[in-house]
């Protein structure tokens, strides 16, 4: 499922009766990769135009674990490649690539 | 065997289903016309009680908030206020004790009234039941024509009260569970067997496993259960089986056991040197109230009348007494009127000995102990109150509450964004 599909104007996602707002909603980002497909620069994308870039982006200082997740293959398959990274300035985030659409997303680590 | 004068074989069971929810509806009448649910008072954040409208939409106790909202989008969620429910129930018990001295609380919203000997006052069981209904009605209005007690009104819709009368607590309870709201079912002596035979097994409080096994055996009513040989039921279900068989067969008459109000409780303090400083006296008062509250005889009772005696220098004395409008077991609420009197009419001299006495009590409930007694219950109520006030202020200023609960949606999900969500906070 594309996380953007359930996003509303307030920046959160709502479920059921439009009363629940999901927490830790992924944010769309643009990621530059090296030749081994490792993220090197992460740039935040705005909601309006998912490909327009806000700011110059942040360099990836180090890369931690990475893993793949396949889920909900019985309805709308979700296939993601997760990478845990530390950005310049010390922020620790989790990036994932939607392997069906090729889009990159950023989330807080759990 | 000595006869307990606060026990009774004939019983009236007074039952208000969904008592906590009814208390909320009485406090906020707009809830009566909406599907609403109470959250559990524990940390689980699950649904505790649901209104009939919400139940019709599919919401059930034990569900997570997200499940209930998914089934009933218009569901109003309420934060529980156990101290308030407990106070309301204590008032109901006080109302019932005006009809009979033998009152036994069973759970929040359900109490038994011993009716042995009341026939001399009210005649047939119908008259006794009518007296009970009249008693609760009077307290609903907040006045009692016969008594000078000044308790405030018991505000739960009378139509919610169901009464069952019969021999023993079990028959009375089953009768109450069969009664329609605002009505009574009377099981006359000798008719217990016939009455119980047609009742469903659900009236027995069985664990789900026993219930399932009985259902699989094709036993759906008490009559079917009682028709089995007792030994067979015991061999299958053990001691619990014996008890349920005897209840189903009407062979057990569980008496209503009233409680004797405790003797006055006294806590005293002798000062090394006479004290005239009011702040020090007020502090000593707090400590003494606290000590008296800890007396084991006080457990299960709320303080209604408190008295302070002071022995002064040169043989004089000082005495104040306060009757609490709402009986309580909270230190600050008991000490507050005493502190006021200490400020307004202080002792005429230095105090050598100070004593606090609790002289009258109102019954508490088992639920009070469940919901955490006294200090922690009061602290929780205080936090709730503060939160509610803050919320009202925010709503006034910003037109929206902007306060949210964090609830579990799919905590097991591998997708982090599916695990938790925010929902509007509605106290």
pLDDT digits (tens, 9 = 90+) for B293-328: 888 777 777 888 899 989 888 778 888 889 887 788
Interface of B with A (CB under 8 A): 66, 69-70, 73-75, 404, 406-407, 409, 414-424
Q: Provide the Cα torsion B199, B205, B206, B208; round to 10°.
A: 100
The answer, yes or no, to whether residue B156 has pLDDT greater than 80, is no
DSSP, collapsed to helix, strand or coil, labels residue B231 as helix
Percent of chain B at pLDDT above 70?
87
Reported as a pLDDT band with limits 50, 70 and 90, residue B284 is: very high
- Any chain B CB within 8 A of the CB of A98? no
> What's the token pair of residue A9?
């104007």
Least confident of B31-35, B228-232, B265-269, B313-317: B313-317
Strands A53-71, A78-87: pairing is: antiparallel
**Per-residue pLDDT of chain A in tens (110 residues, 90 and over written 9):** 444 443 333 334 444 446 778 899 999 999 999 988 899 999 887 655 444 444 568 899 999 999 999 988 888 899 999 999 999 888 899 999 999 999 999 998 87
B211 pLDDT tier (thresholds 50, 70, 90): confident
Q: What percent of chain B has pLDDT over 90?
A: 17
Would the pLDDT of B214 be above 80?
A: yes
ipTM for the complex?
0.78
Range B265-366 classified under CATH 3.30.1490.100: yes
Q: Kindly list the domain boundaries of chain B, sorted by start residue.
A: 1-34+74-260, 265-366, 374-424
Interacting residues of A46 by C-beta distance below 8 A, sequence separation 6+: A52, A54
pLDDT at B2 exceeding the cut of 60? no
Per residue in B84-137, pLDDT tens? Answer: 777 778 778 888 888 888 888 888 889 999 998 888 888 888 899 999 888 887
| Cross-sheet strand order for the sheet of B103-107 | B103-107, B110-114, B10-15, B162-167, B184-186
Averaged pLDDT, B169-185: 91
- Distances in Å between the alpha carbon of B58 and those of B36, B38, B48, B71? 12, 15, 14, 6
Instruction: Select the more confidently predicted residue: B158 or B287.
Output: B287
What is the pLDDT at residue B283?
A: 93
Could you say which DSSP state residue B180 is in?
Answer: P
Asked whether the whole model's pTM tops 0.90, one would answer no
Looking at CA atoms only, how far is residue B21 from chain A in angstroms? 22
Q: Which residue in chain A is spatially nearest to B420 when comparing CA positions?
A: A23
- Residues B324-349: what's their mean pLDDT? 86
- Of A45-49, B328-332, B383-387, the poorest mean pLDDT is in A45-49
Task: Please report which confidence band the pLDDT of residue B346 belongs to, taking 50, 70 and 90 as the band edges.
Answer: confident
The confidence score (pLDDT) of residue B23 equals: 87
**Does the pLDDT of residue B373 top 50, yes or no?**
no
Give me the pLDDT at residue B365, please: 52
pLDDT band at B376 (very low <50, low <70, confident <90, very high): low
Task: Name the nearest CA neighbour of B321 among B350, B295, B357.
Answer: B357
| Dihedral of alpha carbons B113, B132, B171, B200, sign | negative
Taking contacts as CB-CB distances below 8 angstroms, the residues of chain A near B73 are 16-19
Q: Tell me the pLDDT of chain B averaged across its residues.
A: 82
Q: In the prediction, which pLDDT does A17 show?
A: 47
Which residue in A2, A4, A6, A16 has the most chain B C-beta atoms within 10 A of its own C-beta, making it the best mutation to test that interface? A16
User: What DSSP line would sit under B41-98, residue for residue?
Assistant: SSTT-BEEEE-HHHHHTT--TT-BHHHHHHH-TTPEEE---HHHHHHHHHHHHHHHHT
What are the residues whose beta carbons fall under 8 Å from the beta carbon of A102, sequence distance 6 or more? none
pLDDT value of position B368: 46
Give which of B13, B287, B364, B4 is closest to B174, Cα–Cα.
B13
Q: Checking DSSP bridges between strand B36-39 and strand B76-78, what pairing results, if any?
A: parallel
The helix, strand and coil proportions of chain A, stated in percent and rounded to the nearest 5, come to 5, 55, 40
Chain B residue numbers touching A23 (CB-CB < 8 A): 406, 417, 419-422
Which residue from B363, B185, B334, B394 is spatially nearest to B257, judged by alpha carbons? Answer: B363
In this structure, whether the domain defined by B1-34+74-260 belongs to CATH 3.50.50.60 is answered with no
Per-residue pLDDT, averaged over B35-54, amounts to 83
What is the per-residue DSSP string for A67-85?
EEEEE-TTSS-EEEEEEEE
Query: Does A79 contact chain B (CB < 8 Å)?
Result: no
Give the Cα separation of A50 and A59 in Å (integer).
Answer: 20
Whether residue A24 and residue B69 make contact (CB cut-off 8 A), yes or no, is no
| Token pair belonging to B300 | 């299960």
pLDDT of residue B163: 92
What's the pLDDT band for B261 if we cut at 50, 70, 90? low
- pLDDT value of residue B83: 67
Joined together, the tokens standing for residue B200 give 């469903």
C-alpha distance from A46 to closest chain B C-alpha (Å): 19
Q: Bigger pLDDT: B295 or B261?
A: B295
Q: Is the pLDDT of residue B148 over 70?
A: no
Distance (Å) from the alpha carbon of A20 to chain B's nearest alpha carbon? 5
Q: Which of A44-58, B66-80, B272-286 has the highest mean pLDDT?
A: B272-286
């Amino acid at each position: 499922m594309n996380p953007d599909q359930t996003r509303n104007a307030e920046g959160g996602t709502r479920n059921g009766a439009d009363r629940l707002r999901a927490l830790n909603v992924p944010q769309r980002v643009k990621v530059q990769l090296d030749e081994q497909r490792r993220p090197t620069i992460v740039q935040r994308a705005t909601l309006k135009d998912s490909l327009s870039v806000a700011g110059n982006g942040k360099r990836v200082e180090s890369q931690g674990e990475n893993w793949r997740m396949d889920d909900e293959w019985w309805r709308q398959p979700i296939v993601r490649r997760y990478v845990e990274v530390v950005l310049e300035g010390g922020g620790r985030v989790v990036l994932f690539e939607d392997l069906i659409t090729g889009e990159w997303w950023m989330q807080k680590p759990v | 065997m000595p006869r307990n004068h606060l026990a009774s074989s004939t019983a009236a069971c007074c039952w208000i289903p969904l008592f906590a929810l009814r208390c909320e509806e009485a406090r906020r009448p707009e809830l009566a016309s909406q599907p609403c649910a109470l959250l559990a008072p524990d940390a689980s954040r699950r649904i505790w009680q649901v209104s009939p409208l919400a139940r019709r939409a599919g919401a059930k106790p034990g569900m997570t908030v997200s499940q209930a909202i998914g089934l009933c989008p218009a569901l109003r969620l309420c934060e529980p206020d156990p101290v308030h429910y407990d106070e309301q129930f204590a008032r109901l018990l006080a109302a019932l004790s005006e009809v009979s001295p033998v009152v036994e609380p069973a759970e929040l919203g359900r109490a038994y009234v011993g009716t042995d000997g009341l026939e001399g006052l009210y005649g047939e069981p119908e008259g006794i039941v009518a007296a009970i209904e009249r008693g609760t009605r009077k307290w609903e209005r907040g006045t009692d024509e016969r008594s000078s007690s000044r308790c405030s009104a018991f505000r739960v819709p009378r139509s919610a009260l169901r009464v069952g009368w019969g021999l023993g607590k079990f028959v009375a309870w089953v009768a109450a569970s069969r009664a329609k709201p605002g009505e009574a079912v009377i099981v006359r002596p000798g008719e217990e067997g016939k009455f119980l035979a047609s009742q469903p097994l659900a009236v027995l409080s069985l664990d789900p496993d026993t219930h399932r096994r009985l259902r699989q055996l094709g036993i759906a009513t008490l009559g079917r259960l009682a028709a089995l040989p007792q030994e067979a039921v015991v061999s299958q279900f053990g001691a619990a089986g014996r008890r349920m068989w005897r209840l189903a067969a009407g062979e057990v008459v569980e008496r209503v056991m009233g409680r004797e109000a405790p003797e006055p409780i006294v806590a005293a303090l002798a000062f090394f040197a006479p004290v005239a400083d009011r702040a020090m006296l007020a502090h000593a008062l707090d400590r003494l109230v606290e000590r008296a509250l800890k007396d084991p005889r006080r457990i299960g009772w709320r303080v209604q009348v408190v008295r302070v005696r002071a022995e002064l220098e040169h043989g004089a004395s000082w005495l104040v007494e306060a009757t609490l409008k709402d009986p309580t077991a909270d230190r600050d609420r008991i000490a507050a009127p005493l502190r006021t009197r200490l400020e307004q009419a202080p002792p005429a001299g230095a105090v050598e000995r100070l004593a606090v006495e609790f002289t009258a009590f109102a019954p508490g409930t088992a639920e009070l102990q469940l919901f955490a007694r006294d200090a922690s219950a009061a602290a929780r109520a205080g936090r709730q109150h503060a939160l509610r006030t803050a919320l009202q202020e925010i709503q006034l200023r910003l037109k929206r509450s902007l306060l949210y609960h964090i609830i579990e949606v799919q905590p097991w999900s591998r997708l982090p964004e599916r695990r938790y969500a925010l929902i509007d906070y509605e106290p």
